[in-house]
Amino acid sequence: MGATVISNEHALDGGPGPLGATYGKMMMWYFILSDALTFSGFLAAYGFSRFKFIETWPIADEVFNHFPFAHGVDAPMYYVALMTFILIFSSVTMVLAVDAGHHMKKNKVAVYMALTIVGGFIFLGSQAWEWKNFIKGEFGAVETSGGSILQFVKKGADGNYERVALGEFAAVLQEDRVQHEKNNGIWFVGEATIPSHSANEVIQGFKANEDILVRVETIDPATKKKVVLSREESLKRIADTKYVVEGANLVRNEYGNKLFANFFFFITGFHGFHVFTGVLINIIIFFNVLLGTYEKRKSYEMVEKVGLYWHFVDLVWVFVFTFFYLV
């Protein structure tokens, strides 16, 4: 009786594997599944923290309201929506590249891969620009000794309250301000760059401008807007000022709850790292296409495998976009 011979010649070269898929594709799906669970955990932690501190959570429309070359224009979510569209469109070009590979059309694969790479670079540049504005800030705020963030507003011509930048009202006082560095700080602890104005300058300037009020980080459930205090209450709250806050970092956040900045930097940064990695891999595959590597193999499966990763990165951004910017 003849014995059945099982061939493993394709086990390591991406040949036929379980369920009719190649081993290369199966490994990519395993990676995507594990990465999806990782992102799910991060977003679940973000959702829990937001629910816990819902009354003091920053309002996305007030944080992400910048647009390139339109300084001073209130454009809530416009640029974020644009960069999201660009990333999703790059997923379309990747689909076209995979389809062209199935038809063994080398030139079309190269063109669509190049468009995908350009879309990835534009998204990364846009994300860096968003980070820059988030870190730098636009208006500034103060933090009390209890850790509360106080912003400054005044009533506009339309009757609505508008943010006021610290530079518009802060007094100019003759004060000696020294930035503590590791070589001259206490216990060799350095501090961040000193803000443009001292706490005393903000307090004195606020007292001299009676039309300016304090807006706390608490959101009114009825109006869905942050609560604006009366002039008397504003004077009481600002007297407890301890720090001047400009922009956001891992320690302080002028937009509101500190956890918002921590999650923003971590989750969007982690996703940005995935996009950057995807762009690098796409560039490698693009040059392989130009060199005719996959023509010689008679298969463009590598394009399909990196396409799976790219689609996953795009899908994750849809959830990040929903959690951070829309909800």
Query: DSSP H helical segments within 137-268, as ranges?
Result: 199-208, 231-238, 258-263
Least-confidence region, from 4-13, 274-283, 293-302 = 4-13
Choose from 180-184, 191-195, 318-322 the range with maximum mean pLDDT: 318-322
pLDDT-derived band at 7 (thresholds 50, 70, 90) equals: very low
Whether the predicted pLDDT of 8 surpasses 60? no
Strand ranges (E), 208-305:
213-220, 225-228, 241-245
pLDDT of residue 17: 57
Q: What is the mean pLDDT of residues 297-321?
A: 94
The architecture that CATH gives domain 19-137+260-326 is: Up-down Bundle (1.20)
pLDDT of residue 269: 96
pLDDT of residue 175: 66
pLDDT of residue 191: 52
pLDDT of residue 13: 47
Give the Å distances, CA to CA, from 240 to 57, 106, 165, 205, 217: 21, 67, 19, 15, 15
Q: What is the mean pLDDT of residues 233-248?
A: 92
Q: Locate the domains of the chain by residue range.
A: 19-137+260-326, 141-175+194-246
Q: 316, 273 in Cβ contact below 8 A?
A: no
Enumerate residues 6+ apart whose C-beta is below 8 A from 184.
178
User: Which tens digits make up the pLDDT trace of 98-144?
Assistant: 999 999 999 999 999 999 999 999 999 999 999 999 999 889 999 99
pLDDT of residue 221: 84
Q: 135, 250 in Cβ contact below 8 A?
A: no
Q: What is the Cα–Cα distance from 55 to 72, expressed in whole angstroms?
A: 27
Least-confidence region, from 22-26, 125-129, 188-192, 265-269 = 188-192
pLDDT of residue 274: 96
Least-confidence region, from 36-45, 177-186, 304-313 = 177-186
Q: What is the mean pLDDT of residues 229-251?
A: 92
